[in-house]
């Protein structure tokens, strides 16, 4: 949890300082480095293996199966700040799966059956990166926007050669926000809510063909890293200029 607090709040603090230093008293639009950050809560559903899961083999039985797609509730807290470079923003986020389960507690090694049939795999992850606006809301008549993100995903180790519990992974995202509540009065809070979608691709750090994850289950092909995240974007800070 310390990683989450340092990663997200740290970026927020840096962005706040930069935004305040670069802003004139009533000229927030011109930022010397970073503008005042926004903080957003994003409850969502994550669908894994969007284009089908990888084939794995049980070394004890020889049986092969394709890992199924799964859906999980995901909670995201995101901090974003526009930069002085047009269309470029920096962002950080913390992700958490409150209902995710695993076979055993990684700290005590007791299995789920020994602990009553359920172990929560609720360790958070952190993402830090840059975002390039491909389409802005003003260019679509206020209907939607589209951005491409490149980020460092700091999450649970996934390869047998990993030497730490958390590892860095290269992450690519295509993000859109749809102004589904544009019909509401502009001064209301609901008007600021958006429906968002993220097409996520983890390009490095996941199991490859030949890896045993967990031990005794061999991946016959590389992991299928494409997932889809859809949810509601709830701003927690006042609107930026």
Residue 240 lies in a domain: no
Residue 211 lies in a domain: yes
Which of 5-14, 99-108, 210-219 ranks highest by mean pLDDT? Answer: 210-219
For the segment 33-40, the average pLDDT, to the nearest whole number, is 94
Residue 21 lies in a domain: yes
* Predicted local confidence at residue 14, as pLDDT: 40
Residue 173 lies in a domain: yes
Could you give the strand order of the β-sheet that contains 55-58, starting from the edge strand earlier in sequence? 64-66, 55-58, 217-219
For the segment 11-34, the average pLDDT, to the nearest whole number, is 49
Specify whether the CB–CB gap between 81 and 90 falls below 8 A: yes
Closest CA to 104 of 85, 86, 117, 87: 117
Residue 31 lies in a domain: yes
Residue 70 lies in a domain: yes
State the number of CA atoms in the 13 A half-sphere of 113 facing the CB: 0
DSSP β-bridge partners for residue 212: 218
Range of the domain at 106: 2-235
Number of domains in the chain: 1
Indicate if the pLDDT at residue 109 is higher than 90. no
For the segment 144-173, the average pLDDT, to the nearest whole number, is 94
Residue 219 to residues 59, 222, 225: CA-CA distances in angstroms?
10, 7, 13
Lowest mean pLDDT among 95-104, 134-143, 156-165: 95-104
* Predicted local confidence at residue 23, as pLDDT: 36
Lowest mean pLDDT among 87-96, 128-137, 154-163, 170-179: 154-163
Residue 235 to residues 6, 22, 73, 170, 192: CA-CA distances in angstroms?
21, 23, 19, 27, 7
Considering the chain, what percentage of its residues have pLDDT values greater than 90?
A: 63
């Amino acid at each position: 949890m310390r990683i989450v607090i340092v990663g997200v709040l740290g970026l927020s603090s840096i962005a706040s300082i930069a935004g305040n230093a670069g802003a004139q008293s009533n000229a927030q639009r011109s930022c010397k480095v970073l503008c005042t950050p926004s903080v957003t809560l994003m409850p969502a559903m994550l669908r894994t293996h969007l284009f089908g899961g990888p084939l794995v083999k049980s070394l004890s039985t020889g049986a092969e199966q394709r890992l199924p797609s799964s859906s999980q509730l995901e909670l995201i807290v995101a901090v974003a700040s526009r930069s002085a470079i047009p269309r470029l923003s920096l962002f950080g986020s913390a992700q958490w799966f409150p209902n995710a389960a695993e076979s055993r507690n990684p700290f005590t090694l007791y299995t789920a059956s020994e602990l009553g049939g359920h172990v929560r795999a609720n360790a958070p992850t952190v993402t830090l990166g840059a975002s390039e606006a491909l389409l802005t809301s003003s260019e679509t008549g206020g209907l939607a926007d589209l951005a491409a993100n490149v980020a460092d995903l700091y999450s649970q180790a996934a390869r047998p050669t990993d030497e730490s519990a958390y590892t860095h992974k290269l992450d690519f995202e295509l993000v859109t926000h749809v102004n589904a509540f544009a019909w509401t009065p502009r001064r209301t809070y609901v008007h600021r809510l958006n429906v968002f979608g993220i097409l996520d691709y983890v390009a490095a750090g996941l199991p490859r063909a030949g890896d045993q994850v967990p031990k005794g289950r061999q991946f016959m092909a590389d992991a299928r890293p494409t997932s889809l995240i859809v949810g509601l974007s709830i701003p927690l800070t006042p609107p930026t200029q």
